[in-house]
Structure formats: structure tokens, C-alpha cells
């Protein structure tokens, strides 16, 4: 684990602790600790229109994931989503943008079609897949862009994942998150 991933893991402990199932929590933690390149430290977007200002600089991806999970919690409460589904959703949202800078995390620009890179990146990490659960986590990550992506959300948690990402990317919604 590099220092960036170690720092990201320390900053995402509250989000990880939302995941009650220890195997899903462990999976998500391992994905955080093995993220490619400087993923967590890089901007979540390059253009002001795509993400709020606090995500355009250093640690933008970390800030974005924290915001998206706050919004997902609210939407899950509104929709009365069962705890087991929330665990899958939160794990999917932790990794949803992990392909933004390519498979090795070193691309100079955000990659078009980055959701489709998530399965390959997670596979490259050597993370142990949880049978039956990985497919659902992957579905959240693959469909998070909704109508702007190649894979559309179908299940309730995929739709909530997409809505949380879309809302979290808006300038008009101010979600304050703290990183130390």
C-alpha cells in the first residue's frame, strides 16, 4: 500500500464502517488500499461544469466518494433500502470511479468509459471476489453514470448509486466533507 492509499483508507473509515458485512467491508477496504497510481489524490474532474470546486484539486476523488456516500445514505433512508443492499451499494460507490485515470491510474486525463475499467482494475488488485455479491457491487460501479454511460442502472441500488453520483457532482448541492 502506498502512502496515498494509506491516507485514503484512514479518511474513509467512517464510510467503511457503514458496511456491516465484514467480508464486503474487507473487500472495499482492500480496494481502497490497492487503488492504482495516485487515484485518491487526483481531481475528480478537470472542468468546473462537471464537479464542484472542492473536487477539482488535490484529493478530489476522495472528497467525491465521501459526498456520494452521504447522499446515498439519505436516498437509502428515503427508499427504505435493506441493510444488506446498502452494504453492496456503499462498496460499489467506493470503487465507482477507480478507473477514471486508466487501469494503471496514470492517464493524464479522465478516461471516457471509465466505469467499464472497474472490473479489470479490481481484478488486477488480486482482491478476493465474494461470489454473488461482486456482481452486484460491479453493477453499481458500472452503471453509476446512468444515461451518460454505456451501462444503464437497472436495480434499485444501481439507480440510487447513479442518483447519488449525479447529485454529488452538482454545484447547487453543497455537501461539506472533511479530510484531515
**Is residue 115 in some structural domain?**
yes
**Is residue 149 in some structural domain?**
yes
Pairs from 9-13 (Cβ < 8 Å, separation ≥ 24): 9/33, 11/62, 11/66, 11/179, 11/180, 12/62, 12/65, 12/66, 12/94
**Is residue 177 in some structural domain?**
no
Q: State yes or no: pLDDT of 48 exceeds 70.
A: no
Domain that holds residue 106: 3-168
For the segment 67-111, what is each residue's pLDDT rounded down to a tens digit?
999 999 999 999 999 999 999 999 999 999 999 999 999 999 999
Q: How confident is the model at residue 55 (pLDDT cuts 50, 70, 90)?
A: confident
* Number of independent structural domains in the chain: 1
**Is residue 79 in some structural domain?**
yes
| pLDDT given for residue 141 in this prediction | 98
**Is residue 147 in some structural domain?**
yes
| pLDDT given for residue 45 in this prediction | 86
**Is residue 88 in some structural domain?**
yes
C-alpha cell at 121: 482494475
55-80 in b/e form (b: 16+ CB < 10 A) is bbeebbbbbbbbbbbbbbbebbeeee
Which is more confidently placed, 46 or 154?
154
Q: What is the DSSP string of 81-130?
A: --HHHHHHHHHHHHHTTTTTT-TTS--SSPPTTGGGGHHHHHHHHTPPP-
Distance (Å, whole) CA 134 – CA 119: 10
**Is residue 180 in some structural domain?**
no
Amino acid at each position: 500500500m502506498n502512502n496515498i492509499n494509506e491516507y485514503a483508507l484512514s479518511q474513509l473509515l467512517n464510510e467503511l464502517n457503514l458496511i456491516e458485512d465484514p467480508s464486503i467491508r474487507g473487500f472495499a477496504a482492500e480496494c481502497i488500499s490497492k487503488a492504482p497510481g495516485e487515484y485518491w489524490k487526483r481531481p475528480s474532474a478537470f472542468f468546473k461544469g462537471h464537479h464542484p470546486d472542492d473536487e477539482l484539486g488535490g484529493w478530489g476523488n476522495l472528497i467525491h466518494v465521501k459526498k456520494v456516500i452521504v447522499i446515498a445514505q439519505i436516498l437509502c433512508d428515503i427508499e427504505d433500502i435493506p441493510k444488506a443492499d446498502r452494504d453492496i451499494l456503499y462498496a460499489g460507490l467506493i470503487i465507482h470511479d477507480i478507473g477514471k485515470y486508466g487501469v494503471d491510474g496514470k492517464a493524464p486525463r479522465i478516461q471516457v468509459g471509465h466505469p467499464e475499467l472497474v472490473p479489470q482494475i479490481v481484478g488486477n488488485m488480486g482482491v478476493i471476489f465474494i461470489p454473488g455479491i461482486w456482481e452486484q457491487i460491479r453493477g453499481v460501479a458500472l452503471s453509476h453514470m446512468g444515461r451518460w454511460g454505456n451501462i444503464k442502472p437497472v436495480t434499485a441500488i444501481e439507480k440510487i448509486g447513479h442518483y447519488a453520483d449525479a447529485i454529488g457532482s452538482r454545484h447547487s448541492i453543497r455537501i461539506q466533507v472533511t479530510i484531515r
